[in-house]
Amino acid sequence: MKRLLIATGGGDCPGLNAVIRAIVHRASQEGDWEVLGSIQAFNGVLWEPTEVVVLDNKKVAGIHFQGGTIIETTNKGGPFSWPVKNKDGSWTTVDRSDDMIQKLQYMNIDAVINIGGDGSQLISQKLFEKGLDIIGVPKTIDNDLSSTDTTFGFQTAVQIATESVDKLVTTAASHNRVFVLEVMGRYAGWIALNAAVAGGAEVCLIPEFPYDINKAKEALEKRFHYDRGFAVVVVSEGAHRQGGEMVYQENKEVGYRNKRLGGIARQLINELQEAGFEHDMRETVLGHLQRGGIPIAYDRVLSAQFGVKAFEMVLHNDFGKMVAYRHPNFIAVPLKEAIAKPNLVTEDNSLVKTAQGLGISLGI
């Protein structure tokens, strides 16, 4: 029997379970593969005792429409930066990658599939360089990986953000207010831009285009030209004004890998007030509601395709690569290439032109 280990790393994402199920189903057709899942990314392998579960067809039955990941995840630490508590109570990180590779050998693991975003795929690449037979599957609601047309979870997040715009429109219209909806996306404005177009927002501010507060104010004032009006602004969590900085909170979680963005909606309201905008404004921060819950059908289908392709790459010893969707095909891209640059919104993107054509102000 050959052994495959699956890990899910980084923030959770609708569709992760559908990928796990697809890998397990495809592997079971071979008859000579046992699939295991490491609990909480690679922590399950690194912990003493290890926490690894057997994933068979029975275990994955019906999980394709469940949100989250049945094998848990984390965006802290990892084999290259394992948190260790010093005697004085402070924390430091140590490289446990060699230790982990040894443990995987001891566990008779023949191949690893690591499902995760840019941070997790950097870990995959470093483990591959150390000799591990590993394959990456891209995962992110942010859609910020340039080597794949899209990632599962993204459209679900866009759907949730759009439904939120729809809901805010009715309360905004009833009260003649401006509602500022803050959405996720980290350094990429894809969720905001798609939700603004789908939901019919008046203003959309994204990290790639630092905004001029007066331009945003002008666009809103136009809506209130005859005294009464309402508007919805979709702002990406990483958006910031020209010459300004992203809003983020200090994060005390040990080994947390990212900046914890959040708070731009409130800041934007303050900036609009300072700029002289006088109408009522309220903010809604959508947060993790965009990540939880069931994946939409499109993402389940995408997840199934990523999963089956990932296992077939294992069969072909196509290691050191990540599955990428390049319409209409699923291909294998070297991990190094896959993580080389992020997928960010550019001014010449057709969706930007569409947004502008609809009269959505991007604050530029």
The token duo for 300 is 């389940």
Q: What is the distance between the alpha carbons of residues 132 and 142, in angstroms, rounded to a whole number? A: 28
Site string for ligand F6P, 232-271 (x = CB under 6 A): -----x----------------------xx----------
Query: CB 179 → ligand F6P: shortest distance, Å?
Result: 20
Q: Applying CB under 6 A, which part among 17-25, 45-53, 179-187, 350-358 lies near ligand F6P?
A: 179-187
- From residue 133, how far is each of 110, 190, 312, 330, 361 by CA, in Å? 7, 33, 14, 20, 48
Which SS3 state, helix, strand or coil, does residue 179 take? Answer: strand
Torsion, Cα 300 302 304 306, to 10 degrees, reads -140
161 binds ligand F6P per the rule CB under 6 A: no
Which residue, among 72, 73, 37, 38, has the nearest Cα to 55 in the 3D structure?
Answer: 37
Q: What is the distance between the alpha carbons of residues 327 and 245, in angstroms, rounded to a whole number? A: 36
186 binds ligand F6P per the rule CB under 6 A: yes
116 binds ligand F6P per the rule CB under 6 A: no
**Which one, 85 or 260, has the nearer CB to ligand F6P?**
260
Query: CB 170 → ligand F6P: shortest distance, Å?
Result: 26
Active-site hit among 12, 118, 142, 299: 142
**Which one, 21 or 76, has the nearer CB to ligand F6P?**
76
**Which one, 165 or 261, has the nearer CB to ligand F6P?**
261
Q: Which residues contact 163 (CB under 8 A, 6 or more apart)?
A: none
Q: Which of 79, 185, 207, 295 binds ligand F6P (CB under 6 A)?
A: 185
285 binds ligand F6P per the rule CB under 6 A: no
Helices 154-175/190-199 angle, 10° precision = 50
Could you list the residues that contact ligand F6P (CB under 6 A)?
A: 11, 75, 117, 140-142, 184-186, 237, 260-261, 291
Active-site annotation, residues? 142
